[in-house]
Structure 1
Amino acid sequence: MRGMIEEITAALGAHGLILRGGFVFPDGEDAPCGASGAQARSVLLVGQAGAAPWPHFLRWRKKQPQAIANPLDTWSRQVIGGVAEAFGARAVSPSDRPYLLFQQWATRAEGLRPSPLGILMHPQYGLWHAYRGALLFEDELPVQAADPAIHLCDNCVDKPCLKSCSVVAYSAEGFAYQACLAHVRGADGEPCRSGGCLDRNACPQGTSYRYPPEVQAFHMASFMR
């Protein structure tokens, strides 16, 4: 099994993706089903650190119809789905309906906690990472939930991530979605549209993994739609 995990890591790495940890579902947990329809025993999270998948995605995108909806989700599904088929797993996505417990799975797999922006804070990548899918196996793999990771937000006194947005999109009350959306779409939202969320960019952690402006602009355009 350990060899299979290494092979999965290599298969994902060919597309700029990485394994983000995993765990075995405890007996009695209502786990989703695997490839055959039987209940899954293990899950491996798949995602990215920084913008490593971006050039792979762009090469794929050039060959697709321009009107394709949610191209990054579509690309992720194809890549992760191909890996799942090769290794006898079921591929699932954060956008699948009904929604699966991806945030909880990610917390268990890597021991992470949310930042004030809701994005899980990673001790190495900061806020510049993402989960693109998961592989569900009906066998018990040699993986286990991670111990709690260092939570960098605990020692961050200034909290610049809560002070950089002119409409205070993030606060103790949560995310002001409508205010953020109106601002990004409006005349004063150009810095956000072209360079990404000002609050997210203000975080001092993991800056070497920060998405380039064109990647942030792509995600912001998706948000505006």
Structure 2
Amino acid sequence: MIFSRGTIDGIAAALAVHGLILRGGFNIADDEAAPAGNSGSAAKSALLVGQAGAAPWPHFQRWLVRQARGIANPLDTWSREVIGAVAQEFGARAVSPSDRPYLPFQQWAMRAEKLKPSPLGILMHPTYGLWHAYRGALLFEEGIFLPEPQEAIHLCDTCVEKPCMKSCPVDAYSERGFAHEACLGHVRGPRGEPCRAGGCLDRNACPYGTSYRYPSGVQAFHMAAFARL
């Protein structure tokens, strides 16, 4: 069975209530290793769920004020709750990027939207730049009728200056990869206030998708979660 465009539109509408969007999808071939679907049988298709810019933030904040103080990983919890409810409505299994064992979300995203990683590791989107995220996926035991996605323009290929590699005070990103400990030490230290208050300086230096850039309060939330502040 292959479900209809109308079903996909219904899923998109249910997610939009929470500021979330569908981020493409794909069918899983019979000879591929597949995660389980809702009943435990192998999934035949996946729809990725995420965001463009900070659209979910007001919805998340309204949810958060109703929760007990000190809830662990609140954004993950909210995402699981919202996407899980949509999954239940449409007969899917909801999975999250933070589920263990980890599922290959970045590979799924590259497959669904034909994106490539930026020098910071975040997938570069031709419209949203670096200001987007994947919050979960819906796994179905039926196929999906979806047009084959076109290869996305990889903006990093045409960016000569690469300001995203030159703005960090401790050169956390380089051709050698991400210097995790150096980044953490700086963010937590006395000179890390600009990063704590406004987010990663390298990410903010990227010239693409700036109209989708997360507000400073949203970036501060994510930085605090990353650095466990």
Q: Shorter-chain-normalised TM-score: which range? A: over 0.9
Q: How does 1:94-109 map to 2 (within 5 A)?
A: 94-109=97-112
Task: Give how far 1:67 is off.
Answer: 1.1
Q: Give the 3 Å change call, closer, same or farther, for CA 186–145 of structure 1 in structure 2.
A: farther
Residue equivalent to 2:121: 118
1:140 is the counterpart of 2:136: no
Residue equivalent to 1:87: 90
Residue equivalent to 1:59: 62
SS at match of 2:191: helix
SS at match of 2:22: strand
SS at match of 2:121: coil
Q: Distance in 2 between matches of 1:56 and 1:113?
A: 29
Instruction: Find 1:41's aligned residue among 38, 41, 44.
Output: 44
Q: Which runs of 5+ in 2 are unaligned?
A: none
Residue equivalent to 2:14: 11
1:170 is the counterpart of 2:209: no
Task: Give how far 1:147 is off.
Answer: 2.8
Q: Distance in 2 between matches of 1:66 and 1:24?
A: 40
State the AA in 2 paired with 1:132: R
Task: Give how far 1:145 is off.
Answer: 4.8
Q: Give the structure-2-normalised TM-score.
A: 0.97
Task: Give how far 1:195 is off.
Answer: 0.2
Residue equivalent to 2:155: 152
List per-residue Cα deviations over 1:194-221 (Å, max 9, x = no partner): 0000000000000000000000000000
The answer to whether the 8 A contact 1:22-1:144 is kept is: no
Instruction: Find 1:130's aligned residue among 125, 133, 138.
Output: 133
Task: Give how far 1:23 is off.
Answer: 0.4
Q: Percent same amino acid at aligned positions?
A: 72
Q: Distance in 2 between matches of 1:121 and 1:22?
A: 17
Task: Give how far 1:27 is off.
Answer: 2.0
Task: Give how far 1:26 is off.
Answer: 1.5
Task: Give how far 1:179 is off.
Answer: 0.1
The answer to whether the 8 A contact 1:117-1:200 is kept is: yes
State the AA in 2 paired with 1:191: P
Residue equivalent to 2:79: 76
1:27 is the counterpart of 2:22: no
Q: Distance in 1 between matches of 2:140 and 2:74?
A: 26
State the AA in 2 paired with 1:51: A
SS at match of 1:188: coil
State the AA in 1 paired with 2:5: R
Residue equivalent to 2:219: 216
SS at match of 2:23: strand
Task: Give how far 1:66 is off.
Answer: 1.1
